[in-house]
Amino acid sequence: MTATSAAYKVDYLLKNIVLVMPMFSVWSGSGKLEPSDFTNVDADDLPPETVAKLGLKRLINRDALSPFTRLRARADRLCEEYGTRFMGGFAIPEDYAPVVAQKLADLVSEFNTELDTFLRNYDKLINDWVVANPDMAQQILRAVKPRDQIKRRFNACYAIAEVNGSAHDHTNSMVQVADGLFDSFLKTLIDRSVPLLTAKNGTLNDTFRSSVRNSLQSIADKIERFAFLDPSKGGMMVLASKIRASVVGEGTIRGEDFMRVWNTIQPLKSADAFVAAVTAMAGEAPVIVAPPVSQPDLLAPFPTSGADSLGSVPHQNPTQTSTVLQPFEPIDAFGVEEGPLDATFMPSKIDDSEARNALVKDEPPADRINAAPAEGKPITSREELGKMPFASMPGFADKDNASLEAPAPAQKEQVRFSKKRFGW
């Protein structure tokens, strides 16, 4: 490999990643054993420190430190999920660096909150441990450090940096480092996959728990994230798509589904098998997983719009030329709450005699037959319905002038409806 091609390889591989280094340190909760800590033992009988260490003594219940060790482990798992170990930290694909940075920032904040709580309770935690171990009370108290010193034993932070070669690297040392990135990626992948393969015999009687679906989805995601390392130029994306397609569904994986998954993940059993598989798949097209088909909800509410909606009062929408249907709220027959009235089915008491006679004769009053409705205002309340001229009401309008819109605001006469007259 020439120096030019080596430099190109290093630049191509390393420009796609950032180096993330989570740095979480936790106090051990222990102190050094001293010769004076041993009772009924002559100090001269103890081995010299140049040859052997006397050991450590716990100064606090280690359960009090569990929140910090868990957060440190979560930071490492986060970086391993999105990347792979590299140069003392983690290589994270560049596109995912912002996501990892935010999640690490959240963990650091949580760590500092736990530390504040721990330091407030520090004296009590020490005292509780002394009470629980009275035979070693003096030895414990002699080793206790002040709170400020203990605070410096805790730390939570992280660093993100780019990795580049140097013009002063005349030995092309970064080529080996760049090659190690692919090896590290393969090791991470295979370490997660081998337990799935070794725990089964690969027969129709075998099953995978439903959680394996998520595990293999995560493996497929990692393969896609590191596709820029693909030695076959395309096979890794195909393998990722096949793994994802094999675990579509829910519940325990068994029978033919198990065999399909089992055969799909065979390339993950070793580095050689992986390279051979992706090389063979390089010419294939990735498998496209169809989105799930949504099933109709039989318990869903009946539609409140559309030509087939029942119990609706039709009116003309001012923004449309076609008739739309509006929801109809039924009237409470017991007088608790009255909803909008349906003029089509609910004739009611008329205030003036002319209107009363018109109702009996099924004819509109003479002065309202040709009343022009207002443009663009739908019927939305009892008051507006009461102001509607008879020529505009369904069931009372003549055949040539059947408007469904509200009257002009200048209309003063009203028609009032009463449910009591008809016993509704």
pLDDT at 311: 44
Q: At 19, is the secondary structure helix, strand, or coil?
A: strand
Give the chain's mean pLDDT: 77
Q: What is the DSSP letter of 178?
A: H
Both 128 and 211 in a single domain? no
pLDDT at 341: 45
The secondary structure of the chain in percent helix, strand, coil, rounded to multiples of 5, reads 45, 10, 45
282's enclosing H/E stretch is none
Both 354 and 260 in a single domain? no
Q: What is the pLDDT of residues 384-399, one digit of tens each?
A: 655 655 445 554 444 4
Q: Which of 6-15, 158-167, 264-273 has the lowest mean pLDDT?
A: 6-15
14 falls within a domain? yes
341-353 mean pLDDT: 47
101 falls within a domain? yes
48 falls within a domain? yes
Of the candidates 334, 329, 330, 342, the one whose C-alpha atom is nearest the C-alpha of residue 417 is: 342
Both 220 and 98 in a single domain? no
pLDDT at 223: 94
359's enclosing H/E stretch is helix 353-361
- The one-letter code for the residue type at 318 is P
294 falls within a domain? no
Both 239 and 333 in a single domain? no
pLDDT at 310: 44
95 falls within a domain? yes
Domain of residue 251 covers: 191-281
Q: What is the pLDDT of residues 163-218, one digit of tens each?
A: 887 778 777 788 888 888 999 999 999 999 999 888 888 888 899 999 999 999 99
Both 328 and 394 in a single domain? yes
| pTM of the full structure | 0.63
17's enclosing H/E stretch is strand 17-25
Total domains in the chain come to 3
174 falls within a domain? no
187's enclosing H/E stretch is helix 173-198
176 falls within a domain? no
245 falls within a domain? yes
